[in-house]
Amino acid sequence: MTSVSVFRGFVHGRCAPLFTHQSQLPVTSILIGSKKLAYRSNGLRLYARYSESQSAQTQDLFTSRLQDSIENLPKLVEDIVQTSINTGPRGALRLAQGIQAVIGVGGEWLTELSQSRNSPSGIPSQLQLGLLSPLYLRKLFERLGATYIKLGQFIASAPTLFPEEYVQEFQYCFDRAPVVPFDEIKSILHEDLAAPIDSIYEYVDPTPLASASIAQVHAARLKGSQADVVIKVLKPGIEDVLVADLNFIYVVARVVEFLNPELSRASLVAIVNDIRASMLEEVDFKKEAANIESFRGYLESMGLTRQATAPKVYPEFSTKRVLTMERLYGVPLTDLDSISSLVASPETSLITALNVWFGSLLACETFHADVHAGNLWLLRDGRIGFLDFGIVGRISPKTWSAMEVFLGSIATEEYESMASALIEMGATNTNIDSRAFAKDLEKIFSSIQDLDTEVVVATATRRDTNATAISANLVVDERQMNALFLDVVRVSESYGLRFPREFALLMKQLLYFDRYTRLLAPNMNMLQDQRITIASNRKTTNRNIY
């Protein structure tokens, strides 16, 4: 005779069996206090059937996943082989450099970990996560070079895709990049333009105007026309490094998603593909030239060339790695003193910038998606200058339709409409309580007015006239702007929403313009002012033609 007991818990210090089963008498005995209660039960039989059912379901699920994995394995192998072929020998070099970077940052982590072990407050959370913590991952990206710095910038600019801590930490990736020696820049110019440099340019300033993670910009003057230009040059070896790194990241994402199919719901590979496409576009200056020409075509067709401009591109002196453009002279929209010396009404200049940018959302195939102060100037002739079209966005019809409602609801403070627009824009499989969502959004947007706008005011007195000059400048706090947007994203995600990247790009530009408004037109509401024509109010069929 077989006996089986299942024990759970203690009663008066002794194990109490939930089920005591004998093959001839299915009786359950439970000891409560000093009394023993006995009754007949089919519990064990039901428990056994339930276990068998669960086991069968688990086995079916395992079999189904195994079958899917077997079916997907050839495609995975094909992708890995093809990606490896495309990468070539440069992959091995980057692997060695990657190992060195991991060892270097890992050494820093181990040193700080050993120092914190004796701390009374314990080991900080940053150290507990190791190299996957925001701090050490950012340090690792910086050591790995241009590709990962650009990836860090992508993370910092995409709060809809990445956790808040990582978005905030990777803001440091926007710091100035190291300068490439001018001799290397000259070699690229000579190789790509297939002619001696002095036969094209009267001179090229060896000191760069700017140096970013992937490119460097030098001032120059064309021979013959004597036109002042700037030359944007892709840093040497960047494209090879970029391709190798992005292919490696893609392979890792494919393998991880293959091993854990649940991650496919988070679109891991789709996110990596989005990053890869965006970054590869940014290192192809022919595409940037096309973006500029598209914007210039929009300005010309709309009769806006006297209000705004973008640099003229010299295609005969431009290649995939070299971009020669007209040099524009002006000041950033955050330099209030200089702006006041150039135009009578800074507010009017801001309105022009807003109207031109909003109009481009519908009229152009792409929109300028990086209108920070370095890329949006007031020129000496009073026009608005749009610079650097390396980062652009594309708006899907669904997103734009929802953005129409969203922008209108911000202006009118109708939070239920705002919630409905965000629900329409975000991907979700759940039913959402729109009223509760609206109340949470109201709390966030009511705090916008409380944001600190730091205006730095400086005074100076001239000795000859005793006149006092006042200079004001706006300090744009990237972290504060991102914190606001992260609040919107965080609340939205708590309701199961996930937004497309284009929404994040649009929102970030609106936050930039909000800051310019605070400095140049503090009494103006940019979404309600009748002088500003938001693209959502324009009835046009000419979208995507430029």
Query: Six-digit token pair at 368?
Result: 């300028």
Residue length, the chain? 546
Residue of 341, 337, 328, 343 lying closest to 377 (CA atoms): 328
pLDDT surpasses 60 at 290: yes
Give the predicted TM-score (pTM) of the model: 0.67
Query: Six-digit token pair at 337?
Result: 């003193």
Q: How far is CA 141 from the centre of its chain?
A: 15
Query: What confidence score (pLDDT) does residue 514 get?
Result: 85
pLDDT band at 67 (very low <50, low <70, confident <90, very high): low
Residue of 184, 191, 280, 278 lying closest to 235 (CA atoms): 184
Q: How far is CA 188 from the centre of its chain?
A: 30
Query: Six-digit token pair at 259?
Result: 């091993």
Query: What confidence score (pLDDT) does residue 203 get?
Result: 94
Specify which of 157-161, 166-170, 298-302, 332-336 reaches the highest per-range mean pLDDT. 298-302
Query: Six-digit token pair at 525?
Result: 């509401």
pLDDT band at 70 (very low <50, low <70, confident <90, very high): low
User: What 3-state class would DSSP assign to 373?
Assistant: coil
Residue position matching structure tokens 């995507």: 544
Per the DSSP assignment, residues forming a β-bridge with 231 are 218, 324
Phi-psi region of 237 (alpha: psi -120 to 50; beta: other; left: phi over 0): left
- Set 245, 370, 388, 440: catalytic member: 370
pLDDT in tens, 485-533: 667 777 887 887 777 777 778 888 888 898 899 889 988 888 778 898 8
User: What 3-state class would DSSP assign to 29?
Assistant: strand
Query: What confidence score (pLDDT) does residue 102 get?
Result: 87
Give CA–CA dist 546/535, Å, rounded.
16
Query: What confidence score (pLDDT) does residue 537 get?
Result: 44
The per-residue DSSP string of 174-198 comes to GSPPPPPPHHHHHHHHHHHHTS-GG
370 in active site: yes
pLDDT band at 470 (very low <50, low <70, confident <90, very high): very low
The answer to whether the beta carbons of residues 360 and 367 sit under 8 Å apart is yes
Query: Six-digit token pair at 297?
Result: 């075509």
- Contacts of 277-282 spanning 24+ positions with Cβ under 8 A: 278/154, 278/391, 279/147, 279/150, 279/151, 279/154, 279/242, 279/246, 280/242, 280/243, 280/246, 282/150, 282/214, 282/390, 282/391
The answer to whether the beta carbons of residues 437 and 423 sit under 8 Å apart is yes
Give CA–CA dist 249/244, Å, rounded.
9
User: What 3-state class would DSSP assign to 422?
Assistant: helix
pLDDT band at 401 (very low <50, low <70, confident <90, very high): confident
**16 Cβ contact list (under 8 Å, min separation 6):** 7, 8, 9, 10, 30, 31
End-to-end CA distance of the chain: 86
Q: Are strands 384-386 and 308-309 parallel, antiparallel or unpaired?
A: parallel
The answer to whether the beta carbons of residues 390 and 283 sit under 8 Å apart is no
Specify which of 13-22, 231-240, 528-537 reaches the highest per-range mean pLDDT. 231-240
More confident residue, 492 or 216: 216
Phi-psi region of 386 (alpha: psi -120 to 50; beta: other; left: phi over 0): beta
More confident residue, 159 or 343: 343
Q: Which helix (H) or strand (E) holds 437?
A: helix 434-445
Residue position matching structure tokens 């949006």: 376
Query: Six-digit token pair at 137?
Result: 């991952």
User: What 3-state class would DSSP assign to 522?
Assistant: coil
The answer to whether the beta carbons of residues 137 and 162 sit under 8 Å apart is no
Residue 499 φ/ψ, nearest 5 degrees: -100, 155
pLDDT in tens, 80-109: 666 666 666 666 777 787 888 889 988 888
Per the DSSP assignment, residues forming a β-bridge with 313 are 325
Going from N- to C-terminal start, the domains of the chain cover 63-174+241-283, 395-452+476-521
More confident residue, 261 or 528: 528
Residue position matching structure tokens 């086995």: 59
Once rounded to an integer, what is the mean pLDDT over residues 115-144?
81
Residue of 351, 313, 349 lying closest to 331 (CA atoms): 349
Give CA–CA dist 302/54, Å, rounded.
67
Query: What confidence score (pLDDT) does residue 395 get?
Result: 80
User: What 3-state class would DSSP assign to 4?
Assistant: strand
Residue position matching structure tokens 């959004």: 441
pLDDT surpasses 90 at 365: no
More confident residue, 53 or 473: 53
Query: CA-CA distances (angstroms) from residue 18 to 30, 33, 38, 55, 306?
Result: 7, 15, 11, 22, 86
**184 Cβ contact list (under 8 Å, min separation 6):** 236
CA angle 534, 539, 542 (to 5 degrees): 100
Once rounded to an integer, what is the mean pLDDT over residues 3-7?
35
The answer to whether the beta carbons of residues 315 and 224 sit under 8 Å apart is no
